[in-house]
Amino acid sequence: MQIFVCIKQVPDSGQIRVHPVTNTIMRQGVPTIINPYDLFGLEQALRLRDRFGGEVTVMTMGPPMAVDSLRKALTYGADRAVLLTDRVFAGSDTLATSYALSNLILKAGETWGAPDIVFCGKQTIDGDTAQVGPGIARRLGLSQLTYVSGIDDMDLTDRQILVRRRGDHGVQVLRSQLPVMVTMMEGSNEIRRGTQADALRAARAEVVQWNAATVGIPDIGLCGLRGSPTVVKKVFAPTAREETAEMVPTTDSSPAAMADALIDQIFTRQPALQDDLLRQAAGH
């Protein structure tokens, strides 16, 4: 069984700081991590491989430094790693990204065997769009199973897969046919610690590096900025409100007195809310 896992190297958002004066993002020195949701995809892939056999190939599109994330993925136990890196991909929006990744998957499929499952995280923590997984699925004609919280069963003979998918009102139990694209939810599987053998292997492993030409991108015009229908017109800091909060005086006040002053202030500003609350209380 061939399983491909798409990952993305992202800035560790917990460590991003906004400059207090200019209100711009300070990215210098911010460490990068594998997008956390992608790790749930990787873990699920490794579990399926351990049970059914086969290979897990982890892949990404990004700058040369993304090789670090791929090597990290190898330490978890992925069998091989591929980086698609080329300046023509710079500035890709989600449509252009899904075009590049789908071509990467096709090339990897020709090289090592077509994937039975392609995993992605449900979304990235930097872009937050949740659009690339569905984009890849459509481009490759794979069944699209997003927000998957668990894989209940798989049958390689009938080529069927049974998944749980988190909806807005509950969980759908779906049966689909391989090959499929699956985007994984958070908390779906505890991430393993790689073995020492994996770590040693990862340190020595070659990360395959391809560019647009080696992958054989059919239409370079569909890549990068040129291939991106969406265009960022401006980036700006949210405007501050005209006036700051009206502060309730607190000098020498007991908590009870402060609470009373605060409630007076709330009800003065929201008399209708006060009326509704009183009506509600009276009705009980």
Partner 1 sequence: MSNQTSRPAGSGRANMKRELPEHFRSYKHVWVFIEFEHGRIHPVSLELLGEGRKLADKLEVELAAVIAGSGHDALEEVAKTSFSYGADLAYIIDDPVLADYRNEPYTRVMTALVEKYQPEIMLLGATVLGRDLAGAVATTLKTGLTADCTELAIDGERSLAATRPTFGGSLLCTIHTLNYRPQMATVRPRVMAMPVAQEGRTGRIVDFKVDLKEEDIITKVLDFLPDTANEAAQLAFADIVVAGGIGLRTSENVQLVRDLADALGGDWGGSRPLVQKGWIPAERQIGQTGKTIRPRLYIAAGISGAIQHRVGVEGADLIVAINTDPRAPIFDFAHVGITADAITLLPALTRAFRQRLSVNRMAG
User: Interaction with partner 1 in 166-225: which residues (CB under 8 A)?
Assistant: 166-177, 186-187, 221-222, 225
List the one residue from 197, 234, 252, 271 that touches partner 1 (CB under 8 A): 234
The residue whose two tokens read 């992958």 is 215
User: Strand, helix or coil at 34?
Assistant: strand
Which region among 13-21, 36-44, 188-196, 204-212 touches partner 1 (by CB under 8 A)?
13-21
DSSP one-letter code for 137: H
**How many other CB atoms are there within 10 angstroms of residue 104's CB atom?**
23
| Binding to partner 1 in span 122-161, by CB under 8 A | 125-135, 137-139, 143-147
**How many other CB atoms are there within 10 angstroms of residue 174's CB atom?**
15
Cα–Cα distances in angstroms (integers) from residue 123 to residues 49, 57, 174, in the given order? 23, 19, 20
Which region among 51-59, 111-119, 205-213, 232-240 touches partner 1 (by CB under 8 A)?
232-240
At its nearest, how many Å lie between partner 1 and the CB of residue 71? Answer: 25
CB closer to partner 1 out of 74 and 163: 163
CB closer to partner 1 out of 53 and 271: 271
At its nearest, how many Å lie between partner 1 and the CB of residue 209? Answer: 26
Asked whether 209 and 191 are in contact (CB, 8 A), the reply is no
Closest among 109, 52, 43, 110 to 78, alpha carbons compared? 43
| Binding to partner 1 in span 250-269, by CB under 8 A | 250, 254-256, 258-263, 265-266, 269
CB closer to partner 1 out of 50 and 275: 275
| Binding to partner 1 in span 30-89, by CB under 8 A | none
What is the SS3 string spanning 46-115?
A: HHHHHHHCCEEEEEEECCHHHHHHHHHHHHHCCCEEEEECCHHHCCCCHHHHHHHHHHHHHHHHHHHCCC
At its nearest, how many Å lie between partner 1 and the CB of residue 146? Answer: 5
How many residues touch partner 1 under the rule CB under 8 A: the total is: 89
Name 227's Cβ contacts closer than 8 Å, sequence gap at least 6.
Answer: 92, 95, 96, 99, 219, 221
At its nearest, how many Å lie between partner 1 and the CB of residue 98? Answer: 6
At its nearest, how many Å lie between partner 1 and the CB of residue 210? Answer: 22
List the one residue from 98, 103, 188, 189 that touches partner 1 (CB under 8 A): 98
Give the HSE-up count for residue 145: Cα atoms under 13 Å, Cβ half-sphere: 28
At its nearest, how many Å lie between partner 1 and the CB of residue 25? Answer: 5
